[in-house]
Amino acid sequence: MGQEVILIVDDNPANRDMLARRIQQLGYEYDEAENGIQALEKLRENSYDLVLLDIMMPLMNGFETLEKIMDDSDLRQIPVIIISAIDDMTSVVKCIEMGAEDYLPKPFNAILLKARISSLLEKRRLRDAEIQRLTELNAMKDQFVRTVSHDLRNPITIIRGYADVILDLNAGSDVDDFAQRIRRSADRMLELVNDLLDLAKIESGIEMNFAPTPLAYFLGLQMGEFDLMARNKNITLSYEAPPDSLTLQLDAQRFTQVIHNLLSNAIKYTPPGGRVLLTAFEENDAVIIQVSDNGLGIPDEDIPFLFDKFYRVDTDEHKVEKGSGLGLSIVKAIVEAHDGKIGVESRLGEGSTFYVSLPLQVPVN
């Protein structure tokens, strides 16, 4: 690790000089700025571990400088110590409220200077180490989920396979019934494991395979797959296709999952007798794909979390349907990988409309 660098911001050369000498004695490196403007330039260009900031300076004073530092998500991480006259407590309080970490009264006291600087730098070192540790833990956890999901897939497939074999034997009602249950449970496990794997892949930034895709045709194919599911539940499924000429850059395999999840949710969370409609149309510079239903709807308070991993609505009606709560987070990740946005409008008891908005020009990878 290189030596820690402290930026001294003060318009008074004698003050800067004095601080510089002390800092060197403490074994740190330093850099200097005469006012706020210069300080911000340097802060954006180089990396510093600590800023000593004077309040009264020409061109840009300490308050403005501090405000700009706190507004910048990169600079905000750097601790700031305010340099102030001993009798100017109002300014110090104001700066601390604005986000400064500590203050040093003028004239400088060598022992206090040393204590404040080294304790802040130590705090920062500990925090950086903690961030590093959490990042590593998080990566390990992701890897763990990936490995477990992957390793579970084989045994589940085998269980499913043998359940099918038993069903083929037509062994009698009890056995068939048990085999059906095994089969259904294995299917659910496989679905969950596949969702986990998909999400892990998408989140780790798999490469997308964009290709020009005629949207009307693409959506028509998806519709075909849900005919039976809708009919079995006595739901009217309809489709208002976009113009045939409309072509988008899509990763067709991934984008199939988007439509698949939205349509299966709409059918799942709409009681028999209801309607589900898929539409797509151009609006300004975007293409909107919409899946609406007149089903259960979603409580207002759940909407902000709906696209979070594992989030499911907690009403009795929603809970009857089985699911992992991963579908919509996968949908969101894929839509965002297409530079798109997803949103929902819904009223509890009246229905929901999920819309995906894609820019007309999606960048080719």
Ligand X SMILES: Nc1ncnc2c1ncn2[C@@H]1O[C@H](COP(=O)(O)OP(=O)(O)O)[C@@H](O)[C@H]1O
Chain contacts with ligand X (rule: CB under 6 A): 261, 265-266, 269, 293, 295-298, 306, 311-313, 318, 323-328, 352
If contact means CB under 5 to 8 A according to the sort of partner, which of Mg ion, ligand X, none does residue 62 touch? Answer: none
Render 283-329 in DSSP notation, one character per residue.
ETTEEEEEEEESSS---GGGGGGTTSTT----SHHHHHS---S-HHH
Question: What is the smallest separation between the CB atom of 325 and Mg ion, expressed in angstroms?
Answer: 8
If contact means CB under 5 to 8 A according to the sort of partner, which of ligand X, Mg ion, none does residue 38 touch? Answer: none
Nearest partner of 48 among 133, 117, 106, 107, judged by Cα? 117
Question: What is the smallest separation between the CB atom of 278 and ligand X, expressed in angstroms?
Answer: 12
Quote the DSSP letter at residue 206: P
Residue from 62, 242, 327, 351 that binds Mg ion (CB under 5 A)? 327
Question: What is the smallest separation between the CB atom of 333 and ligand X, expressed in angstroms?
Answer: 11
**With DSSP H G I counted as helix, E B as strand and the rest as coil, what are the percentages for the chain, rounded to 5?**
55, 20, 25
Question: What is the smallest separation between the CB atom of 199 and ligand X, expressed in angstroms?
Answer: 10
Q: Which stretch binds Mg ion (CB under 5 A): 232-240, 264-272, 296-304, 329-337?
A: 264-272
If contact means CB under 5 to 8 A according to the sort of partner, which of ligand X, Mg ion, none does residue 298 touch? Answer: ligand X
CA angle 277, 283, 288 (to 5 degrees): 35
Residue from 35, 38, 249, 265 that binds Mg ion (CB under 5 A)? 265
Buried/exposed code over 17-49 (b: 16+ C-beta within 10 A; e: otherwise):
ebbbebbeebebebbbbbbbbbbbebbeeeebb
If contact means CB under 5 to 8 A according to the sort of partner, which of ligand X, Mg ion, none does residue 352 touch? Answer: ligand X
Quote the DSSP letter at residue 350: T
CA distance 224 to 51: 63
Question: What is the smallest separation between the CB atom of 168 and Mg ion, expressed in angstroms?
Answer: 30
Question: What is the smallest separation between the CB atom of 314 and ligand X, expressed in angstroms?
Answer: 8
Residues forming beta bridges with residue 80, ordered by sequence position: 51
Q: Which stretch binds Mg ion (CB under 5 A): 4-12, 37-45, 263-271, 349-357?
A: 263-271
CA distance 318 to 264: 14
The binding site for Mg ion (CB under 5 A) comprises 265, 323, 327
